[in-house]
Amino acid sequence: MGLETAALLMGTTQALGAASNIFAIRGQAEAEKALLDINRNIAERAAVDAIARGDLEAAAVRRRAKAVIGLQQARAAAAGVDPFTGTAAALQEETGVLSDFDRMMIRISAAREAYGYRTQALEASLRRRMVTIEARARTAQEIAGAAEDLARTGSAYAYYRGRPPSTQGAEQILSAYPLF
């Protein structure tokens, strides 16, 4: 194998290795971004679901409170008391206020849960951006490293080119040149 062939093979191998690494970096980044997109979508759906479940639970509390108030009115009337005045009315008012407080607490809890999911969705979106930036940086490093390797090969070839052809193989060039 001649010197030119050895230098050409080394340069080609280095370029192919760099290209392979770049494709691997990009493939890994795309796979990670796809997973982060799935996680973001799941978190966004969970946030919507948390609000919907909170609304359903709050509506159930309201229905139960109305039933209790109706029962209070019926018992007051059965006891011969006007259910819309005095203590009977105050009791019903208190039941309604407590029911409103319960519904408010349920909605606050649902909003907090949804906030947590939305935070997870935002985190996935930001991580997706970081994956893109990291992949670009690693790609640039790979290209720079390949360029450096090619420059070293070219320098070694230029160094030995001035000498008369000999039986030196690629192994001798690599071992003789200190930058490898």
Whole-number Å distance between alpha carbons of 58 and 150: 69
Helix (H) or strand (E) holding 135: helix 86-161
Evaluate whether 18 touches 146 at the Cβ level (below 8 Å).
yes
Other Cβ atoms within 10 Å of 110 Cβ, number: 21
Report the pLDDT value the prediction gives residue 12, as an integer from 0 to 100: 79
CA distance 91 to 87: 6
Where in the chain are the domains? 3-176
Q: pTM above the 0.85 mark?
A: no
Q: Nearest 5°: phi and psi at 168?
A: -65, 130
Token digits for 38? 């799935």
What local confidence, expressed as pLDDT, does residue 179 receive?
Answer: 41
Which pLDDT does position 40 carry in this prediction? 97
165 DSSP 8-state letter:
P
Is there a contact between 95 and 101 (Cβ–Cβ < 8 Å)?
no
Q: pLDDT by residue for the chain (180 residues), tens digit each?
A: 566 677 677 777 877 888 888 899 999 999 999 999 999 999 999 999 999 999 999 999 999 999 999 999 999 999 999 999 999 999 999 999 999 999 999 999 999 999 999 999 999 999 999 999 999 999 888 888 888 777 777 776 666 666 544 444 445 544 554 443
In angstroms, rounded to a whole number, what is the distance separating the alpha carbons of residues 143 and 176?
Answer: 25
Backbone angle region of 82, left / alpha / beta, with phi > 0 → left and psi within -120 to 50 → alpha: beta
**What pLDDT score does 165 carry?**
42
What's the pLDDT score for residue 51?
98
Name the amino acid, one letter, at 178.
P
